């Protein structure tokens, strides 16, 4: 009666993941109007952010020593770094509903990792519009700053973007996981998501306690500022060098906390 398990490694999960995403994408495309409108909405939201930026720089030459194109660089960078969180980890927004109404229990019945199972369920296409906006902005800023593109720089850019994404995902994982302990965890997620908008500014514009807060407690300074420092300023701050390691570590912590919450969960009964 007992069937032996084959090893469920990275390949197993990757293959399952791509199958789910492909199917989900296909079904989303069948609601074409829905797809186009949500895409348009995302682009419009970002254009309005862009306009704010533009007006601001009509009045100031620089902000805290950062010029227009450097600020655009950070802006574009943070938009791209946000994309993986929005496209791939969007189901975190539904976690608290699943936990409160008891439907989260269904994720405990399959022989696969609970975090994976839950997260893989939703692929949000809206994030792709943001990716497009971010890439255009970053490319535009890159060009005007006169930065060269070499293989090494391309590699650094990808690594820096991945680092920023890891921080972004980890912050939202932790925010979502609070619902395993708190009854009103919705505001935690919303607040954290609002904070991530500050990721597009250099952390040096914040003073004292806020700077410490945004660097070490809610590490949004690591989403764009520290990883992109390497392209914009000479010299290498220690925090920039360490950011990929921190990113992986922070993501791992957020995963452990999420799983701890899940194992604490026992459903709300019937």
Q: Kindly list the residues in this chain that would bind another protein in the complex (CB under 8 A).
A: 1-3, 5-6, 8, 15-16, 19-20, 23-24, 27-28, 102-103, 105-106, 108-113, 121, 266-267, 269-270
Nearer to another protein, 27 or 148 (CB): 27
Q: Of 113 and 135, which has the nearer Cβ to another protein?
A: 113
The number of helix segments (H) and strand segments (E) in the chain equals 11, 2
Q: Shortest approach of another protein to residue 196 CB, angstroms? A: 27
Residue 146 C-beta: closest distance to another protein, Å:
46
Distance of closest approach, residue 162 Cβ to another protein, in angstroms: 27
CA distances from 20 to 8, 32, 43, 106, 187 (A): 17, 19, 26, 17, 30
Question: Within 10 Å of residue 65's Cβ, how many Cβ atoms?
Answer: 10
Q: By C-beta, is 44 or 112 nearer to another protein?
A: 112
Measured distance CA(165)–CA(83) in Å, rounded: 8
CA dihedral for 41, 44, 50, 55, sign (positive or negative): negative
Question: Which residue, 5 or 55, is less far from another protein as judged by CB?
Answer: 5
Local structure of 223: helix, strand or coil? coil
Q: How far is the CB of 51 from another protein (least distance, A)?
A: 35
Report the C-alpha gap between 162 and 128 in whole angstroms: 16
When the beta carbons of 50 and 116 are compared against another protein, the nearer one is 116
Residues whose CB falls within 8 Å of the CB of residue 265, separated by 6 or more in sequence, listed in order: 99, 104, 105, 108, 180
| Least Å from the CB of residue 258 to another protein | 16
């Amino acid at each position: 009666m007992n069937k032996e398990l084959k090893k469920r490694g990275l390949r197993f999960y990757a293959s399952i993941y791509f199958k789910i995403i492909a199917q989900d994408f296909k079904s989303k495309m069948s609601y074409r109007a829905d797809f186009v409108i949500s895409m348009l909405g995302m682009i419009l939201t970002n254009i309005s952010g862009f306009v704010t930026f533009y007006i601001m720089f009509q009045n100031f030459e620089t902000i805290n020593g950062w010029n227009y194109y450097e600020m655009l660089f950070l802006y574009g960078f943070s938009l791209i770094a946000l994309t993986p969180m929005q496209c791939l980890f969007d189901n975190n927004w539904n976690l608290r509903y699943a936990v409160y109404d008891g439907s989260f229990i269904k994720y405990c019945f399959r022989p696969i990792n609970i975090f994976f199972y839950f997260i893989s369920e939703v692929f949000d296409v809206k994030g792709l519009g943001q990716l497009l906006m971010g890439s255009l902005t970053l490319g535009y800023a890159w060009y005007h700053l006169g930065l060269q593109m070499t293989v090494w720089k391309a590699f650094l850019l990808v690594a820096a973007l991945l680092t920023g994404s890891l921080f972004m995902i980890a912050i939202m994982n932790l925010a979502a996981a609070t619902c395993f302990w708190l009854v009103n965890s919705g505001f935690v997620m919303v607040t954290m998501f609002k904070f991530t908008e500050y990721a597009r500014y250099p952390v040096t514009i914040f003073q004292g306690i806020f700077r410490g807060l945004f660097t070490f407690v809610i590490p949004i300074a690591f989403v764009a500022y520290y990883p992109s420092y390497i392209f914009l300023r000479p010299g290498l701050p220690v925090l920039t060098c360490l950011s990929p390691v921190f990113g992986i570590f922070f993501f791992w912590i957020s995963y452990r906390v999420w799983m701890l919450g899940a194992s604490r969960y026992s459903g709300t009964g019937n």
